[in-house]
Amino acid sequence: MSRPAIRPAPADLLFTFVWSHRHVAATHVSGRHARLDVSIDGVRITRTASDAARRHVERVYELEWDRIAGATLETSRKGRTIVRVAVADAPAVAKHRDDPYAIKVLRAEAGSAPAVVDLIEHEVQVRRRWREQAPATATS
């Protein structure tokens, strides 16, 4: 018994093969009391009302890319992952608990935290290169 020949799919059905859902870029991380979202405009840090009051900080921070100096990944004494965003016009803070731009990430999302930090670092580097190249292209 022979197998029937496999016919190619019609051209109008082939567009679905272009989309791949194997890897979705991580654009946010969440903690118990806060969330960090990366967008085309910058980084948004949103905290619960109680966490913002306890830290004496604003509930929502909208950070444009020009204000962001970078991002780092740290580990707490208990082994929890912490994402800290460095802001150019903000003073350096030693403890992550006092840093309004730090998020202690949920253990379930600790795997996506390095991808978010890499995304922030990549965007900061790209925009830094753009600013460095802008005067050179404007004069020529």
| Matching residue, tokens 């019609």 | 10
Write the CB contacts of 121 (distance below 8 Å, at least 6 apart in sequence): 70, 71
Extents of the domains making up the chain: 26-135
Percent of the chain with pLDDT over 90: 59
Average pLDDT taken over every residue of the chain: 84
Rounded-to-integer distance, Cα 72 and Cα 105, Å: 13
Segment 27-43 mean pLDDT: 93
Q: Residue 26, exposed/middle/buried by CB under 10 A (0-12, 13-18, 19+)?
A: middle
Confidence of residue 6 (pLDDT cuts 50, 70, 90): low
User: In this model, does residue 98 exceed pLDDT 90?
Assistant: no
| Matching residue, tokens 């109008």 | 12
Confidence of residue 33 (pLDDT cuts 50, 70, 90): very high
User: In this model, does residue 8 exceed pLDDT 80?
Assistant: no
pLDDT digits (tens, 9 = 90+) for 46-89: 999 999 998 888 999 999 999 999 999 999 999 999 999 999 98
Q: Which fold has domain 26-135?
A: PH-domain like (2.30.29)
At 16 the pLDDT is 45
- Segments in the chain forming alpha helices (H): 49-55, 113-139
User: Does residue 43 or residue 13 have the better pLDDT?
Assistant: 43
Write the CB contacts of 84 (distance below 8 Å, at least 6 apart in sequence): 71, 72, 73, 74, 96, 99, 101, 102, 103
| Matching residue, tokens 């580990």 | 75
φ and ψ at residue 10, rounded to 5 degrees: -60, 155
User: Does residue 1 or residue 70 have the better pLDDT?
Assistant: 70
